[in-house]
Amino acid sequence: MLKHLALCTLLLATLLPAPSVTAAEATELHLSDAWARPMPPGARVGGGYIAIHNAGERTRRLLGASSPRASSIEIHTMVEVDGVMRMRRLTDGIEIAAGAQIALKPGAEHLMFFNPDPAFSEGERIAVILNFDGDESIELQFEVADRSGRAAAAHAH
Ligand SMILES: [Cu+2]
């Protein structure tokens, strides 16, 4: 556990040159592997993915997100409807149990960026603010990966 926490802190330090935490106390939420998909020309939406580790002792919730590069961001999941996978908005956000790590990833929960202009292109960084319960907001950069979906910012851990 300690090793994991240390690694998370290290990744946070690497990925976030200027983390801003607006909560009164230091965050127990460790964010890593934040990346977004490059968008084909003309696309109106883009997908973003991230791992969130709740190192605290109480359940937390990701409530929403915003970015200067999108008109809005929704939290989506994928559900099967009549044999077809469809996206569905999670209006209550995503719960992160105490001690748990969740991963937003392709084919599962994800952030949906609406109307990025210009479209996300490989190699750029997208500023995003994630809003959690308890009035906690964390700003970080999502790195746009190559088309294979492999993020330069991705670290196995
Ligand atoms: Cu979506």
What's the 57 CA to ligand 1 centre distance in angstroms? 30
Residue spans of alpha helices (H) in 65-126: none
Identify the band that residue 100 occupies on the pLDDT scale cut at 50, 70 and 90.
very high
> Is 99 among the domain residues?
yes
CATH number, domain of 133, equals: 2.60.40.1890
Cβ 54 vs Cβ 97: under 8 Å: yes
> Is 95 among the domain residues?
yes
pLDDT of residue 6: 47
What's the 48 CA to ligand 1 centre distance in angstroms? 9
> Is 151 among the domain residues?
no
What's the 2 CA to ligand 1 centre distance in angstroms? 34
C-alpha angle 101/115/133, rounded to 5°? 35
What's the 107 CA to ligand 1 centre distance in angstroms? 9
What's the 76 CA to ligand 1 centre distance in angstroms? 5
| Residue span of the structural domain in which 102 resides | 2-144
Examine residue 118 and say whether the peptide bond preceding it is cis (omega within 30 degrees of 0).
yes
Is the confidence at residue 155, as pLDDT, over 80?
no
> Is 14 among the domain residues?
yes
What's the 40 CA to ligand 1 centre distance in angstroms? 15
What's the 88 CA to ligand 1 centre distance in angstroms? 7
pLDDT digits (tens, 9 = 90+) for 71-93: 999 999 999 999 999 999 999 99
pLDDT of residue 150: 62
What's the 73 CA to ligand 1 centre distance in angstroms? 9
> Is 105 among the domain residues?
yes
The number of distinct structural domains making up the chain is 1
> Is 112 among the domain residues?
yes
